[in-house]
Amino acid sequence: SAVISQKPSRDICQRGTSLTIQCQVDSQVTMMFWYRQQPGQSLTLIATANQGSEATYESGFVIDKFPISRPNLTFSTLTVSNMSPEDSSIYLCSVEKGADTGELFFGEGSRLTVL
Amino acid sequence: GENVEQHPSTLSVQEGDSAVIKCTYSDSASNYFPWYKQELGKRPQLIIDIRSNVGEKKDQRIAVTLNKTAKHFSLHITETQPEDSAVYFCAASPHYGQNFVFGPGTRLSVLP
């Protein structure tokens, strides 16, 4: 099964700054998914990252605020730009655990606190 | 788009009792329904899932039922144990592994 490494695990950021979260998978995957989990809330899909093409963003999320890179089949980054306290959340990278299993496997998450 | 509702938001049961969590979905195209368990400070992890061509699935103390006509599915945990205490999320997806919409979650507390 996939192993996902996510960095940083947590960070405290100042308002107006940007932070890039890295996600490394130990096997090649077609799609990588970025989720946000606000404090005490459910998981919301931000975007789907495909290698070699622009990420597909869900309603309410835009590329200028959450630019995503996907340079190869094992790596992706999510940047949270111009942060405000409302961006304080856990950001989770995920992949499908095995071909056509349907199961999403999540990284440990990156807990961001914006002051 | 898909909308998933989940009830109850919190649930307390005595150890050994059963727990039932119910979800409804809106998009008839959804065909995959997983349940995730998230312990405090941990990542969500799949505990059981069901596909639209099946009405019920069981794995030891955990079972899931699906009623496609009514667009609802339920998680059943029998003989609950303190380690079952966690937040449980249901989800619906029109395609395996993609475009998941999660329910708001149920915080289950199993009291010793």
- Please answer yes or no on whether A31 and B93 come within 8 Å at the CB atom: no
The larger pLDDT score, comparing residue A9 to residue B99, is at A9
| Residue A99 clears pLDDT 70, i.e. is over it | no
User: Number of residue pairs across A and B with CB atoms under 8 Å?
Assistant: 55
Interface of A with B (CB under 8 A): 31, 33, 41-45, 48, 59, 92, 96-97, 100-109
Nearest to A103 among B1, B34, B103 (CB): B34
- Judged by a CB distance cut-off of 8 A, whether residue B100 touches chain A is yes
pLDDT of residue A6: 96
Cα–Cα dist A83/A80, whole Å:
6
Residues of B in contact with A106 (CB under 8 A): 43-45
| Residue A10 clears pLDDT 90, i.e. is over it | yes
Name the one residue in this structure whose structure tokens are 């192993």. A3
The larger pLDDT score, comparing residue B89 to residue B54, is at B89
- Please answer yes or no on whether A103 and B89 come within 8 Å at the CB atom: no
Q: What is the pLDDT of residues A39-91, one digit of tens each?
A: 999 999 999 998 888 899 999 999 999 999 999 999 999 999 999 999 999 99
Q: What is the pLDDT of residues A22-53, one digit of tens each?
A: 999 999 988 899 999 999 999 999 999 988 88
pLDDT of residue B5: 97
Q: Name the closest residue on chain A to residue B100, using Cα atoms.
A: A45
Q: Predicted confidence band at B1 (pLDDT cuts at 50, 70, 90)?
A: confident
Residues of A in contact with B93 (CB under 8 A): 102
pLDDT of residue B22: 98
Q: What is the pLDDT of residues B75-84, one digit of tens each?
A: 999 999 999 9
B11, B58, B31, B45 alpha-carbon torsion, rounded to 10°: 60
A60, A76, A21, A78 alpha-carbon torsion, rounded to 10°: -20
Burial class (CB in 10 A: 0-12, 13-18, 19+), A51: middle
Point out the least confidently predicted range of B18-22, B26-30, B63-67. B26-30
Nearest to A104 among B100, B103, B105 (CB): B100
| Residue A11 clears pLDDT 70, i.e. is over it | yes
Question: What is the largest distance, in Å, between two alpha-carbon atoms of chain A?
Answer: 41
- Judged by a CB distance cut-off of 8 A, whether residue B51 touches chain A is yes
pLDDT of residue A66: 98
